[in-house]
Amino acid sequence: MLPKIQIIMVCLIVAGTAGCSLFSGKTDEVVLAATEVGTPQGERITKEIGPAGGTLSSQDGRLTVTVPPNAVTENVAFSVQSISNKAEDGVGLAYRLEPRGKTFKTPLQLSIRYNEEDVAGTYPQALRLAYQDEKGAWHEQGSTAMDTVNNQITVSTTHLSDWSMNYGTAYRVIPGKAVVYVGQSVEIRTWKCEYIMFAYWFQKKKPCSGILGEFTLKGSGTLTPSTVGPTRIVYTAPAKKPTPNVVTVGFRINYGDFWHAEDMRYLETKITILDHAYRATGHHGALELSGVICSLDQPFSIHGTIMGYPMNYIFNFTPSSSSAGTVDIAGSGYLVTAKGSGTYTIEGRDSDKPRIAMTATTTGHIPVGSATGKGTGDFVELVPLDTNECSEPPPPPPPPPPRPNPDMRGRKYKSL
């Protein structure tokens, strides 16, 4: 440990250009770049709070303002409104708190709840709260209280402004979560936004060009070094969906220096591997549709039923491109047969919520006649398959119920 006089000498040396936290008293915040202000994203919640104190929460329930007793001498209208988050490394929505311009002798408590998504790829202690000043600069607070039981971070403040939850001294892997299809790859990179040496005096924060450590893989697939540098890795999923289909790419940070000798972190990216397969649900007129589609690029089928009526339909889809094709319909049941045809398109195929839009005409035949119906704008919702049903041949469609001969109905015969 350096003698106290040596520490003072170091401060004196740097004080001429950077200032020293020993004298500045600003070791509890870092000033970040100015940004534009956020725009309203939710309802403004207002509540009058007097000398007895009270609490006020945002519409989404994530932020809570706690006014302690005697923080105000009369009733004051407090308000909170969620706004778009423009802060550097901001997490989720930001919040506009009022009244602005009023100083409270007794500090208020601001608490923001975080969830699993907020800390994916990092850890709760990396989170910080920051406010935006009148010039647009963000002041990231270092003195925060972390409650990992209730998933909440709290800071004290004597004024109200626009507030955000940020990734502070954050070691992260990006993305924290990913979804890939079999055979596909995703690049994972490390990121560090940490205070550099003498950062409190410079009051800056910057990304680190590299973090000492190593990547590890738990589960199926391969890791390949990235051509960009040692702080990135490329994960490639196997050709067949594994069981379980969630793997972990971990990154253990090895600081190995005087400043972080005892601060070790293990970060991880959770990767879900899916087939190019979907579970289909939807409707076509009175028909309820369901089935498993193992590939949208090959002919596929789904089934249709009418609740309470013994009739089965099968819809056979034939692709003509990656997002469109034709459909043929066949149905049979008690005294009824049906045939039809039409076209379909796949909307949002590259999204996480694709669906099939179908237009078809179907004609039903019964012993005494026929009827034709047309369905337009019917949708089949597609949900990525998370089971191994497509690893085995799909089961055959259920057989139609027996069709009795209409000429034999109600007749009685005597034994000869």
pLDDT, mean over the chain:
78
Residue 323 sits at φ, ψ, to 5 deg, of: -135, 15
Per-residue pLDDT tens over the stretch 272-294: 888 778 899 987 777 788 999 98
| Domain 278-384, CATH number (from 2.30.30, 3.40.50, 3.90.10, 2.40.128) | 2.40.128
The more confidently predicted of residues 99 and 322 is: 99
Dist. CA 301–CA 296, nearest whole Å: 10
pLDDT digits (tens, 9 = 90+) for 374-402: 555 568 899 887 766 776 554 555 555 55
Residues 74 and 109 sit within 8 Å (Cβ to Cβ): no
3-state secondary structure of 78: strand
What phi and psi, each to the nearest 5 degrees, are found at residue 200? Answer: -65, -30
Residue type, 48: E
pLDDT in tens, 55-105: 999 999 999 999 999 999 999 999 999 999 999 889 999 999 999 989 998
In 43-169, DSSP assigns E strands to 45-49, 54-57, 63-67, 76-83, 90-98, 108-113, 127-132, 138-141, 145-147, 152-157, 162-167
Distance CA 111, CA 61 (A): 10
Local structure of residue 4 (DSSP, 8 states): H
> Rounded to an integer, what distance in angstroms lies between the CA atom of residue 128 and that of residue 114?
11
- Closest C-alpha among 409, 331, 403 to residue 370: 331
Give the number of other Cβ atoms within 10 Å of residue 222's Cβ: 11
Measure the CA dihedral 375/378/382/383, to 10°. -130
Q: Which ranges of 182-285 would DSSP assign to H, the alpha helix?
A: 199-202
How deeply is 173 buried, as exposed, middle or buried, from its count of CB atoms within 10 A (0-12, 13-18, 19+)? buried
The torsion angles phi and psi of 359, rounded to 5 degrees, stand at: -130, 120
The CA distance from 244 to 256, in Å, is: 35
Query: Has residue 256 got a pLDDT over 70?
Result: no
Contact partners, residue 244, CB within 8 Å, separation at least 6: 219
In the chain, the percentage of residues whose pLDDT exceeds 90 is 40
**What is the token pair recorded at 96?**
């506009």
**Average pLDDT of the segment spanning 261-269:** 69
- Phi-psi group of 48: left, alpha or beta (phi > 0 → left; psi -120 to 50 → alpha; rest → beta): beta
At 347, which amino acid appears? E
Q: Is the pLDDT of residue 54 over 60?
A: yes
pLDDT computed for residue 400 by the predictor: 53
Provide the 8-state DSSP code for 274.
Answer: E
User: CA–CA separation, 254 vs 260, rounded Å?
Assistant: 9
Q: Do 384 and 184 form a contact (C-beta atoms < 8 A)?
A: no
Paired with 172 in beta bridges are 191
Coil, strand or helix at 162: strand
Structure token pair of residue 240 = 């067949």
Average pLDDT of span 162-187: 86
Listed by start position, the domains of the chain span 17-168, 172-197+204-274, 278-384
CA separation for the pair 33, 46 (Å, rounded): 30
Q: Which CATH architecture has domain 17-168?
A: Sandwich (2.60)
Q: What is the pLDDT of residues 193-247, one digit of tens each?
A: 544 434 444 444 444 444 556 789 999 999 998 887 667 899 999 988 888 889 9
* CATH 2.60.40.10, applies to 172-197+204-274: yes
Residue 80: the pLDDT is: 97
Residue 199, both tokens: 């950062």
